């Protein structure tokens, strides 16, 4: 049975939603496995007799574990059939939430909840949902197009994404990333998260399942699920940076999001800096302090310990190695070697985004060519720009700047048969991307802010595999070089890379020159150091480590007594020890009489009664005594 406060959570958090119609939505089909019902503190006395039955809950949790992975997008690709009769589906091998399965126990069932990248008509949604569940263990969340627009391109991309990358909305009509806060977009964000929660509720077995939520699109989701299932084992991982408290405090719904995340059992970040900023926000805005014990960081939140996990994600080694063995890859490598014969190739692979620093990279490369003329005619910067995920005027402006820089550099330093900048502004297949990694002497990443960025990791693995593609001996030396921004999540893990401040054009240009000028022996030493780390800290290691910490954090769930209190995003679960009992007058009197020594502590100003009920004015007798 759903509590009244749950059904009104959206209204309480956001106001009137009459303007947001779901457009033909149907009541969700519920599986008869939902068992846990939230309680309230008023139920404490009635629950005392049931407190001794905790063992039955523990026994229930011994069933085969299952994990529900929730993300904005499902790890499947959907395409309409050529005859326009239905859909075809295939796994998206590049999806992180699909790759992380390799780190989970073999006997753990995995269920995915998320949305599709394509719009599905209302009359097709039931058939599509059934096919995805049966064939892919996926439960699709169908958001109406107008809601998806406001949820994803509105609040996520216009508010959260810029803020988490340290961009404030100084202009009301900026028209893109960094737009000022619009409460109606926040309402759409909350509504979309509620729809995701309904899909999770349809399939969850709360006594046995784990829930792992991914990324900033679903930061309100934990509150919906925690209100419904007090003992649910739930984790969250943020794949973007988390801003400093000075930046985050500008968000009008800052406390709502923090409280929603604290309804999880474990919260994960890529780097210590991101986690430190989150802890600082909890301290400054909610007054919650953290404790560190034996290498684990935890926040004490109303009797629950919310764990903080710091673990950068890795690449899928098996997938990269399989691509390296493809004949198409070998053919493309040979083609690129002929195209860039006698040239030193520097490579950039980035999304077309205002935070990727592509134009800064071009300016630094231009500086290198000016100060080191020896590279004119021999050094080539290949920049692959993946299609943008966002939109707006600022993105168009940066695209214009990039095109202008490419044209200027090629005009100034290029000649017939030589273009110093090769700009690829189109989707690039995995095979082609791997081929470029294989021939590149150096990869350059100049993002001004990025959550993780796995481009350097992919490059290292591909350079490790070049001996096979060249037909050389297995023990032949491999080498690679990296120039990476100090503002990306993978930077601390790459001790052999040349770290730069991408805003410093001159220093970045000198770093490029240094990287391609190093001796082969030095490049080999740095490559070996990087490859040892990347190959042992892959995506399977990351997911296994997160799951181990989630199991450790949730081990006491069925031993404690939990009650939910609060409305809207103020909802939280109070966790009490099994021996906690409500005090009764008869019990207190009996203990008082039996005690041999007694201490009576008295205080003033509302210790036992509300302060407003205390009359602080001295009585007439008091005036008499002091006269």
Q: Of the ranges 14-18, 259-263, 377-381, which one carries the lowest mean pLDDT score?
A: 14-18
pLDDT of residue 171: 65
- pLDDT at res. 84: 79
> With 80 as the cut, is the pLDDT of residue 290 above it?
yes
> CA geometry: angle at 327 spanning 326 and 329, to 5°?
70
Whose tokens are 């990279």? That residue is: 361
Lowest mean pLDDT across 10-19, 139-148, 581-590: 10-19
DSSP 3-state assignment of 52? helix
Mean pLDDT of the 302-306 span: 92
Show the beta-strand stretches assigned E in 61-217.
66-73, 76-80, 87-91, 109-115, 138-140, 209-214
Residues 80-97: tens digit of each pLDDT: 998 878 899 999 999 999
CA–CA separation, 358 vs 361, rounded Å? 5
Flag whether pLDDT at 582 surpasses 80.
no
Q: Which residue has the higher pLDDT, 218 or 468?
A: 218
pLDDT one-digit tens code per residue, 485-501 = 999 999 999 999 999 99
pTM above 0.85, yes or no: no
pLDDT, tens digit, 9 for 90 and up, residues 189-211:
999 999 999 999 999 999 899 99
d(CA 625, CA 115): 76
CA gap 516, 480 in Å, rounded = 10
Residue 608: pLDDT band by 50, 70, 90 thresholds? low
For residue range 327-362, what is the model confidence (pLDDT) as tens digits? 899 899 999 999 999 999 999 999 999 999 999 999
Mind listing the pLDDT tens digit for each residue in 95-119? 999 999 999 999 999 999 999 999 9
Output the pLDDT for position 342.
94
Per-residue pLDDT band for 376 (boundaries 50, 70, 90) equals: very high
pLDDT of residue 37: 37
Cα angle, residue 562 at apex, residues 560 and 568 outer, rounded to 5°: 150
CB-count burial class (<10 Å; 0-12, 13-18, 19+) for 478: middle
Q: What is the mean pLDDT of residues 425-448?
A: 95
Q: Could you give the dihedral angle defined by the CA atoms of residues 67, 71, 75 and 76, in that order, rounded to the nearest 10 degrees? A: 120
Give the pair of three-digit tokens for residue 582. 């409500």
| Count of Cβ atoms closer than 10 Å to residue 587 Cβ | 11
Please name each of the domains of the chain with its CATH number: 317-466+476-536 (3.40.50.2000)
Residue of 413, 409, 419, 339 whose CA lies nearest to 374: 413
Q: Is the pLDDT of residue 54 over 80?
A: no
CA dihedral 574, 578, 579, 582 (to 10 degrees): 40
| DSSP output for 313-328 | ----HHHHHHHHT-HH
Beta bridge partners of 306: 299
Q: Of residues 12 and 313, which shows the higher confidence score?
A: 313
Paired tokens of 97: 């939430």
Sign, Cα dihedral of 162, 115, 314, 322: negative
Residues forming beta bridges with residue 379, ordered by sequence position: 344
**Strand pairing category for 138-140 and 561-565:** unpaired
Helix axis angle, 358-371 to 505-517, nearest 10°: 70
Per the model's pLDDT, the better-predicted residue between 589 and 77 turns out to be 77
Q: What are residue 575's DSSP bridge partners? A: 562
Contact of 111 with 69, CB cutoff 8 Å = yes
Give the percent of the chain with pLDDT over 90: 69
Contact present, 138 and 581 (Cβ < 8 Å)? no
C-alpha 169/C-alpha 174 separation (Å) is: 8
CA dist list (Å): 127 to 86, 88, 92, 140, 621: 9, 12, 20, 11, 83
Share above pLDDT 70 across residues of the chain, in percent, rounded to a whole number:
84
Q: How sure is the predictor about 22, in pLDDT bands with cuts at 50, 70 and 90?
A: very low
Separation between Cα atoms, residue 11 and residue 9, nearest integer Å: 6
* Phi, psi of 230, deg, nearest 5: -65, -35
User: pLDDT band at residue 127, thresholds of 50, 70 and 90?
Assistant: very high
**Average pLDDT of 51-80?**
71
CA distances to 29, 110, 426, 494, 517 from 365, rounded to whole Å, are: 57, 46, 22, 22, 14
CA 536 to CA 514: how far, in whole Å?
A: 28
CA dist., res. 312 & res. 320, Å (int):
18
Lowest mean pLDDT across 21-25, 216-220, 365-369: 21-25
Distance separating alpha carbons of residues 621 and 159, to the nearest angstrom: 63
Contact 274, 490 (CB under 8 A): no
Q: How confident is the model at residue 613, as a pLDDT?
A: 57
Residue 11 pLDDT > 90:
no
Q: Tokens at residue 74, please?
A: 């499902």
Pairwise CA distance, residues 105 & 108, whole Å: 5
pLDDT of residue 581: 76
Average pLDDT, integer, range 8-20: 43
The SS3 of residue 575 is strand
């Amino acid at each position: 049975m759903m509590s009244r406060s749950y059904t009104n959570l959206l209204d309480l958090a956001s106001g009137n939603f009459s303007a947001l119609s779901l457009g033909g939505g149907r009541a969700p089909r519920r599986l008869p496995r939902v068992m846990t019902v939230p309680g309230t503190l008023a139920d404490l006395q009635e629950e005392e007799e049931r407190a001794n039955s905790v063992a039955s809950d523990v026994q229930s949790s011994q069933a085969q574990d299952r994990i529900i992975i929730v993300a904005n997008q499902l790890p499947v690709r959907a395409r309409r059939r050529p005859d326009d009769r239905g859909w075809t589906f295939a796994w998206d091998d590049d999806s992180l939430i699909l790759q992380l399965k390799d780190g989970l126990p073999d006997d753990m069932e995995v269920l995915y909840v998320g949305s599709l990248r394509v719009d599905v008509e209302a009359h097709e949604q039931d058939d599509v949902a059934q096919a995805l569940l049966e064939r892919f263990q996926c439960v699709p969340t169908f958001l109406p197009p107008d809601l998806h627009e406001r949820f994803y391109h509105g609040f996520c991309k216009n508010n959260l994404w810029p803020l988490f990358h340290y961009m404030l909305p100084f202009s009301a009509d900026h028209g893109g990333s960094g737009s000022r806060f619009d409460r109606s977009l926040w309402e759409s964000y909350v509504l979309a998260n509620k729809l995701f929660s309904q899909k999770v509720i349809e399939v969850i077995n709360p006594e046995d399942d784990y829930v792992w939520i991914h990324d900033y699109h679903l930061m309100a989701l934990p509150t919906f699920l925690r209100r419904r299932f007090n003992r649910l084992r739930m984790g969250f991982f943020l794949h973007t940076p988390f801003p400093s408290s000075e930046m985050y405090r500008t968000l009008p719904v800052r406390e709502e999001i923090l409280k929603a995340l604290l309804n999880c059992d474990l919260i994960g970040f890529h780097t210590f800096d991101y986690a430190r900023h989150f802890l600082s926000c909890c301290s400054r805005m909610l007054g919650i302090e953290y404790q560190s014990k034996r290498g684990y960081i935890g926040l004490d939140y109303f009797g629950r310990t919310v764990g903080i996990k710091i673990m950068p994600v890795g690449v899928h080694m098996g997938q990269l190695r399989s691509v390296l063995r493809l004949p198409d890859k070998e053919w493309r490598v040979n083609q690129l070697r002929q195209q860039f014969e006698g040239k030193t190739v520097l490579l950039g692979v980035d999304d077309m985004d205002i935070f990727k620093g592509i134009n800064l990279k071009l300016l630094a490369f231009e500086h290198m060519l000016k100060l080191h003329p020896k590279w004119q005619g021999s050094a080539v910067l290949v920049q692959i720009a993946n299609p943008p995920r966002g939109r707006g005027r600022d993105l168009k402006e940066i695209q214009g700047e990039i095109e202008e820089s490419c044209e200027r550099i090629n005009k100034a330093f290029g000649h017939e048969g030589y273009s110093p900048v090769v700009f690829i502004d189109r989707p690039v297949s995995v095979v082609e991307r791997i081929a470029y990694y294989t021939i590149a002497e150096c990869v350059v990443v100049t993002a001004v802010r990025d959550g993780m960025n796995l481009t350097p990791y992919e490059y290292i693995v591909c350079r490790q595999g070049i001996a096979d593609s060249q037909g050389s001996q297995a023990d032949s030396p491999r080498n690679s070089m990296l120039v990476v921004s100090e503002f990306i999540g993978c930077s601390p893990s790459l001790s052999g890379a040349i770290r730069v401040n991408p805003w410093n054009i001159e220093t970045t240009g000198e770093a490029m020159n240094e990287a391609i000028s190093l001796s082969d022996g030095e490049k080999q030493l740095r490559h070996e150091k990087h490859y040892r780390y990347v190959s042992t800290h892959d995506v399977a290691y990351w997911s296994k480590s997160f799951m181990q910490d989630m199991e450790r954090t949730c081990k006491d769930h069925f031993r404690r007594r939990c009650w939910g209190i609060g409305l809207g995003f103020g909802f939280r679960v109070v966790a009490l020890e099994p021996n906690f009992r409500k005090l009764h007058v008869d019990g207190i009197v009996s203990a008082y009489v039996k005690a041999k020594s007694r201490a009576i502590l008295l205080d003033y100003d509302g210790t036992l009664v509300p302060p407003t009920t205390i009359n602080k004015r001295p009585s007439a007798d008091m005036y008499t005594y002091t006269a």
